[in-house]
């Protein structure tokens, strides 16, 4: 039986359910020399803001057991440079482009969405209301259901593009936040972003990250991510996109069983630039071995 990996998330047609996560794949150009971007289900760009940002002071990255800490601080060139200089490169690849945006207010999110609404290449917008490494905006919106709703509503009024709300794990009730995003008009939710963590150098007693607390990603957070995806999928009717520590096809399968309709691969891209393609192939092999027709046959089928 031939396996059909194609799917549709929030109106975005994907040839397979594997995306690359924002902040781990640049703008795609960096990886294009190492792999064929057209194999991806979708490409999500690095977070963009209205104006350029320098980001946080180094050191901004450090390895940890089964993961890594980062506090980049949303360094980027700004929305105008993204539209004029970065996105045109991706037009030659057969891959849906989703732009991840961040603002200091619902109005800034809306202004970014308006600019992207006119760009034909862009198929969707992911709202970064979950970054733990900025002083304004970011996770501050994602830990409060009312603020989550305000951002989603503002963007919904500004664009016809599908909206994906990217949620933070640093909350007590992920289902409440996911439901708030859905009720406000989000077309899908993606989770989880990084978990707050910290590392200290025992030789010099200094934080290994200049900002102190930072975002933990990688295999260490996968059990947290799977649990939260399972909870969110039970709370909402819109598609749930799972991410957090996915390194192999088997990891991705866990998220599908928990209720995710698609997945994003993040930290694994730093370890192996072709990780996403290998995961796609592994998912196909998994389904073929069980004579299943597609992903829909396993979504939410975990026996809990």
Q: Tens digit of pLDDT for each residue in 199-218?
A: 999 999 999 999 999 999 99
The whole-angstrom separation of Cα 119 and Cα 129 is 22
H helix and E strand count, the chain: 10, 14
Which helix (H) or strand (E) segment is 165 a member of?
strand 163-166
The runs of H, that is alpha helices, within the chain are 79-81, 87-90, 106-117, 139-142, 145-158, 174-184, 222-235, 249-258, 268-271, 275-289
The answer to whether residue 141 scores a pLDDT higher than 80 is yes
The answer to whether residue 135 scores a pLDDT higher than 80 is no
The answer to whether residue 157 scores a pLDDT higher than 90 is yes
Domains in the chain: ranges and CATH: 7-56+73-196+218-297 (3.20.20.70)
46 touches 23 (CB < 8 A)? yes
109-129: b (≥16 Cβ within 10 Å) or e: bbbbbebbeeeeebbbbbbbb
Three-state secondary-structure class, residue 54: coil
Q: Which of 19, 79, 95 is nearest to 47 (CA)?
A: 79
Asked if residue 166 has a cis previous peptide bond (ω within 30° of 0), the answer is no
Mean pLDDT of 90-98: 96
Residues 132, 136, 142, 143: what is their CA dihedral angle, to the nearest 10 degrees? 80
Active-site positions? 131
The answer to whether residue 9 scores a pLDDT higher than 80 is yes
**Where residue 252 falls among pLDDT bands split at 50, 70, 90?**
very high
pLDDT at 81: 97
Residues near 1 by beta carbon (within 8 Å), at least 6 away in sequence: 288, 291, 292, 293
Least-confidence region, from 80-84, 129-133, 158-162: 129-133
Which helix (H) or strand (E) segment is 70 a member of?
strand 67-70
Q: Tens digit of pLDDT for each residue in 32-50? A: 999 999 999 999 999 999 9
pTM of the shown model: 0.96
- The chain-wide mean pLDDT, for the chain, equals 95
Q: Tens digit of pLDDT for each residue in 48-83? A: 999 999 999 999 999 999 999 999 999 999 999 999
**Where residue 1 falls among pLDDT bands split at 50, 70, 90?**
low
Mean pLDDT of 234-261: 98
pLDDT at 134: 64
The whole-angstrom separation of Cα 75 and Cα 26 is 11
pLDDT at 130: 84
Q: Which of 220, 168, 233, 173 is nearest to 194 (CA)?
A: 168
């Amino acid at each position: 039986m031939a396996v059909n990996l194609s799917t549709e998330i929030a109106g975005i047609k994907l040839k397979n359910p594997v995306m690359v996560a924002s902040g781990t794949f640049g703008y795609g150009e960096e990886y294009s020399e190492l792999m064929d971007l057209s194999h991806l289900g979708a490409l999500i760009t690095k977070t963009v803001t209205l104006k350029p940002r320098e980001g946080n002071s180094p050191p901004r990255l450090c390895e940890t057991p089964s993961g890594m800490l980062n506090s980049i601080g949303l360094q980027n060139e700004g929305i105008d440079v993204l539209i004029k200089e970065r996105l045109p490169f991706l037009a030659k690849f057969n891959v849906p482009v989703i732009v991840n945006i961040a603002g200091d207010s619902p109005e800034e999110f809306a202004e970014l969405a308006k600019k992207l609404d006119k760009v034909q290449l862009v198929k969707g917008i992911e709202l970064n209301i979950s970054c733990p490494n900025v002083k304004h905006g970011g996770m501050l919106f994602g830990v409060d259901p009312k603020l989550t709703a305000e951002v989603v509503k503002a963007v919904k009024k500004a664009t016809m593009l599908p909206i994906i709300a990217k949620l933070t794990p640093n909350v007590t009730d992920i289902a409440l936040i996911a439901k708030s995003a859905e009720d406000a008009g989000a077309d899908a939710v993606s989770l989880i972003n990084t978990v707050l963590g910290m590392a200290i150098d025992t030789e010099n007693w200094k934080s290994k990250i200049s900002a102190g607390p930072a975002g933990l990603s990688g295999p260490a957070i996968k059990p947290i991510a799977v649990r939260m995806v399972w909870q969110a999928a039970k709370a909402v009717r819109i598609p749930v996109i799972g991410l957090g520590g996915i390194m192999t096809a088997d990891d991705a399968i866990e998220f599908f069983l928990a209720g995710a309709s698609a997945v994003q691969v993040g930290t694994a891209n730093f370890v192996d630039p072709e990780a996403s393609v290998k995961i796609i192939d592994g998912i196909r092999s998994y389904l073929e071995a069980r004579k299943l027709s597609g992903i829909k046959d396993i979504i939410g089928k975990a026996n809990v």
